[in-house]
Amino acid sequence: MTDKKIRVLVAKPGLDGHDRGAKVVARALRDAGMEVIYTGLRQTPEMIAEAALQEDVDVVGLSILSGAHMALAPRILELLKANGQQDVKVFIGGIVPDEDTPRLKEMGITGIYGPGASTEDIVRDIREAIK
Amino acid sequence: MTLTESALAGNRLSISRLLTQVENDSPEGRLALMELFPHTGKAHLIGVTGAPGTGKSSLVNQLTLHYRKQQNKRVAIIAVDPSSPFTGGAVLGDRVRMRDLSGDEGVFIRSMASRGSVGGLAQTTASFTQVFDAAGFDIIIIETVGAGQSEVDIARLAHTTIVVEAPGLGDDIQAIKAGILEIADILVVNKADRPGVENTERALRTTLELAHPTKRIFRHHGQTIAIDAPEVDSKIWIPPIHKTISTDGTGIAELAESIEKHKAHLHQSGDWAHRDRARLGSELEAVLQEELLNRFFDGIQKEKYNAIIESVLQRNISPYEAVILLLNGSSKQEKL
């Protein structure tokens, strides 16, 4: 009877320990009526792909502040695909230099958000992406 | 191969997609449940409940590690967290405590939002257990939302219910004991490295001693056997109390042993079949209720329904009369 809920995995790959941004986003998505699976800090790409599989999410949101996005993002996309979840939309929030944006989008990252991005934009883009 | 066949064969993506279908109560999900049902009835369902912050998720993590390492059993975990009553959204955070389990093909963790249910589980949690059961998981651990007093649905669903307490809740113990302690097959005082653990344990033991006689009479369906009758004694399960530290695994082996003993007790006493019957009975009732309600709404004109709600709002008729009117098409008020 209800609409299908949007399920989002919010994960922090890599070694930096700052998860405030991820929590702010998780909370905003919750308030937008989405179901957010929060996995916590220091996740490997394998852990993230496994969680995405078990939770059958529509969206994976990665918080990366360490600068390792060019290594982590393709690996996660690859694993999702290997698991048969190529339809899952992947978003990145954190510190990503502008010059990396085109290459990440080319790889298949749906959206990239830096400091000052509004949570409303993120919510809107997620809804748009999984229509 | 259909999704159901593939899930039965253990394909993880298929299991996951099937769970989504079931959770959204789609026609495909219902069909799958019908196909899967004959394959169910093998798994041991273990419920883990307790107040928020008592360490349920960490305990589930340790218990699962134990089952994987010591007994090589396949374990599915259903972790329920609350949905917002306002937006319907949820943050499901139980996986944070279960990172030790990642990378193990013998474990499947699925988070679940309660989606408006108030009994500590979601409406489709029971169906989830059927999917995992059919897919060949030996043990299914169901972690409820952080529970207060009346989130006791888990006792109907699980074969073995573990209630987790932690020291330092102090007077809260007093408040909790009326509701949730009654459903415990096994009690755990977690965070046993914290001060006050003896007090908590003592409080629980005292409560159990008080509650125990009532339970006897309840269990044996009104056969008011004398409380000290010996043949009854042997059939009674007295909930053991375990002290655990789920950050390092202390006490987990003993807890697992108690769970095994409880399972044996259930089989021996006939309670296993008893609980199965109660569980499937209440599930049938819930499905029936929903179906009847759906049929009712399919068969009624929206205008008529709205008009009756309006009459109730105006205080012209009471909700009771409204129901008579809706079901019979007439009531004493109709002539007015």
Asked whether residue B211 carries a pLDDT value surpassing 90, the answer given is no
Residue B24: its chain A contacts at CB < 8 A?
Answer: 2, 4-5
Q: What are phi and psi of A55, to 5 degrees?
A: -90, -5
- At B188-207, the pLDDT tens digits run 999 999 988 888 888 888 77
pTM (predicted TM-score): 0.88
What DSSP line would sit under B163-198, residue for residue?
A: EEE-TT-TTHHHHHHTTGGGG-SEEEE--TTSTTHH
B211 three-class SS: helix
- Which pLDDT score is estimated for B332? 53
B59 three-class SS: helix
Q: Do B89 and A31 touch (CB under 8 A)?
A: yes
Q: Do B24 and A26 touch (CB under 8 A)?
A: no
- At B59-76, the pLDDT tens digits run 999 999 999 999 999 999
- Closest by Cβ to A37, choosing from B16, B25, B92: B92
User: Model confidence at B116, in pLDDT bands (50, 70, 90)?
Assistant: confident
Unique residue bearing structure tokens 């089989």: B267
Q: CB within 8 A of B328, min separation 6: which ones?
A: none
Task: Tally Cβ neighbours within 10 Å of residue B309.
Answer: 12
Structural domains present in chain A:
7-129 (3.40.50.280)
Unique residue bearing structure tokens 């978003």: A91
- At B122-179, the pLDDT tens digits run 989 999 999 999 999 999 999 999 876 667 889 889 999 999 988 877 555 554 555 6
A20-51 b/e (C-beta count within 10 Å ≥ 16 → b)? ebbeebbbbbbebbbbbbbbbbebbbebbbbb
- Which pLDDT score is estimated for B217? 37
Structural domains present in chain B:
40-269 (3.40.50.300), 300-335 (no CATH)
| Rama region for A36: left / alpha / beta (φ>0; ψ in -120 to 50; rest) | beta
> Which residues 67-106 on chain B approach chain A with CB closer than 8 angstroms?
83-84, 87-93, 95-96, 99, 102-103
Mean pLDDT across chain B: 86
A66 three-class SS: coil
| DSSP β-bridge partners for residue B107 | B75
> pLDDT below 70 — which residues of chain A?
1-3
Q: Which residue has the higher pLDDT, B180 or B130?
A: B130
User: Model confidence at B230, in pLDDT bands (50, 70, 90)?
Assistant: very low
Question: Residue B183's closest CA among B207, B203, B156?
Answer: B156
Distance CA B59, CA B63 (A): 6
- At B14-64, the pLDDT tens digits run 999 999 999 999 999 999 999 999 999 999 999 999 988 899 999 999 999
- Residue pairs spanning A and B at CB distance below 8 A: 81
- Closest by Cβ to A54, choosing from B83, B96, B110: B110
| DSSP β-bridge partners for residue A93 | A63, A113
Distance CA B278, CA A114 (A): 54
Taking each helix axis from N to C end, the angle separating B125-134 and B12-23, rounded to the nearest 10 degrees, works out to 160
* β-pair type (A89-94, A59-64): parallel
- Read off the amino acid at residue B110: R
Asked whether residue B248 carries a pLDDT value surpassing 60, the answer given is yes
- At A113-122, the pLDDT tens digits run 999 899 999 9
Task: Tally Cβ neighbours within 10 Å of residue A130.
Answer: 16
B199 three-class SS: helix
Cα nearest neighbour of B19 on chain A: A56
How far is B135 from chain A, CA to nearest CA, in Å? 14
Question: Residue A30's closest CA among B80, B87, B89?
Answer: B89
How far is A1 from chain B, CA to nearest CA, in Å? 8
Residue A33: its chain B contacts at CB < 8 A?
Answer: 84, 87-89
| Rama region for B230: left / alpha / beta (φ>0; ψ in -120 to 50; rest) | alpha
How far is A98 from chain B, CA to nearest CA, in Å? 31
Interface contact B323, partner A, CB < 8 A: no
Percent of all residues in chain B with a pLDDT value above 70, rounded to a whole number: 86
